[in-house]
Amino acid sequence: MIQSAYIHIPFCHHICHYCDFTKFFYNETLATDYLQALKKEIQTKVPGRDNEVKTIFIGGGTPTALNISQLQMLLEIIHHTFDVESCEEFSIEANPGDFDKEKIKLLKEYGVNRVSLGVQVFDNEMLKSLGRAHQVKDVYRTVSDLQQDDFTNISIDLIYALPHQTAEHFQKTVEEALSFQLPHYSAYSLQVEPKTIFYNRLRKGELHRPEQEEEVKMYAVLRELMAVNDLNHYEISNFSKPGFESKHNLTYWNNDYYYGFGAGASGYIPGKRMINIRPLPAYIKQAELDGNPTLKIDKITLKERIEEELFLGLRKQKGISDTTFIEKFGFSYHHIYGEQIDSLKTKKWVVEEERHLRLTEQGLLFGNDVFEQFLIDGDIIQVD
């Protein structure tokens, strides 16, 4: 079964300086054309009605940049194809300040039960330097409005290691975020990606980034404050109260299958990873033509599946189950990675308990170095 559906809405009213996702300035006519094309793609790739999925996630871009009639159109498209009532988690990304009470009521009526707010930092000047349109006061208003309409599953996303940020500054942001007493928080280190404003500034020597030691301090502050507030560190960058883990993102970390719809979206179905056309006019044209705006299909080999199982699974606090690995692949991960696991245990970067391999406290700080150990030499895996 395909576990999840990701639906990409690429429109924004402002372009953030760090964002490298597929995004375009909002235009009402273009957005309506896009939704018509998206409808054609979804109904072509997943024919029929009431198709079961465990999770649905509307991401972007900024999905709430759509006007009220367009947002309703999007939700109607989703309801036409998927059995929303049986869906365990129906999420939407949003920027604080993009919501009004009418949009919130509409989301509630159509079964959306989780909202992920892109707050990033509780500092108006720093928000402005990131290219964000909202202010701190908008976070308070948006959370209040959501809670008044009985939204209980709300997440706040933060970014750290921002230009000119210190560990002390980030601590204040985390403390203010925690004051909302929400069930879920995410915090990601800033990654400067090509084709972004920050990347161009970095190349010119105009982007002041914190030293690595300061970034490590920020991560330590993050983990400590989350623990004090009884939030479980269930994935490298994610924390939640019991039962409020992001079921959709767990689809990715569990290396399960998912649909990907919209410009630039990627999907993962048995044996294949699919990436859609990214430029908006080309996506719309192809989707309207045949409902299949796929740019590229990559065949996923057994080697790649196993590597991804390790890379993604080790992001989770509980790590990788050898029992589950055997069910998927027919042999233990020790068959391939015995030497690597022993070496990492010696460094105290991983530990194995009750047939679960996971990162240690120290291993969390050297995640990329750990993951590199699980690259497989050669294309053919011999199993006894």
Residue 130: which CATH number?
Answer: 3.20.20.70
Instruction: Write out the residue range of the structural domain in which residue 35 sits.
Output: 4-253
Output the pLDDT for position 378. Answer: 67
Q: The CATH number of the domain where 339 resides is what?
A: 1.10.10
Q: For the residues 34-61, what does the mean pLDDT come to?
A: 96
Q: Which helix (H) or strand (E) holds 60?
A: strand 55-60
* 147 and 227 part of one domain: yes
* pLDDT (mean) for 241-249: 97
Compute the distance between CA of residue 288 and CA of residue 39 in angstroms, rounded to an integer. Answer: 9
Q: Token match 């497989």: residue?
A: 376
Task: Please check whether residues 77 and 154 belong to one and the same domain.
Answer: yes
14: pLDDT strictly greater than 80: no
C-alpha dist (Å) from residue 253 to 1, 134, 241, 250, 264: 16, 30, 18, 5, 20
Selected residue with higher pLDDT from 186 and 378: 186
Burial status of residue 207 (CB atoms within 10 A of its CB: 0-12, 13-18, 19 or more): middle
Intra-chain end-to-end CA distance of the chain, in Å: 29
**What local confidence, expressed as pLDDT, does residue 379 receive?**
57
Whether residue 13 is contained in a domain is answered as: yes
Which carries the bigger pLDDT value, residue 383 or residue 90? 90
Q: What is the mean pLDDT of residues 96-106?
A: 92
Q: Are residues 217 and 318 in the same domain?
A: no
> Do both 206 and 355 map to the same domain?
no
Domain edge (last residue) among 238, 253, 268: 253
Helix/strand/coil for 349: coil
Same structural domain for residues 207 and 317? no
Residue 217 has pLDDT above 60, yes or no: yes
Last residue of a domain, one of 231, 253, 275: 253
In a domain, 192, yes or no: yes
User: What's the number of domains the chain is made of?
Assistant: 2
| Residue bearing the bigger pLDDT, 241 or 366 | 241
Domain co-membership, 249 together with 312: no
pLDDT of 23 > 90? The answer is no
pTM, entire model: 0.93
265: in domain: no
Is residue 66 domain-shared with residue 191, that is, in the same domain? yes
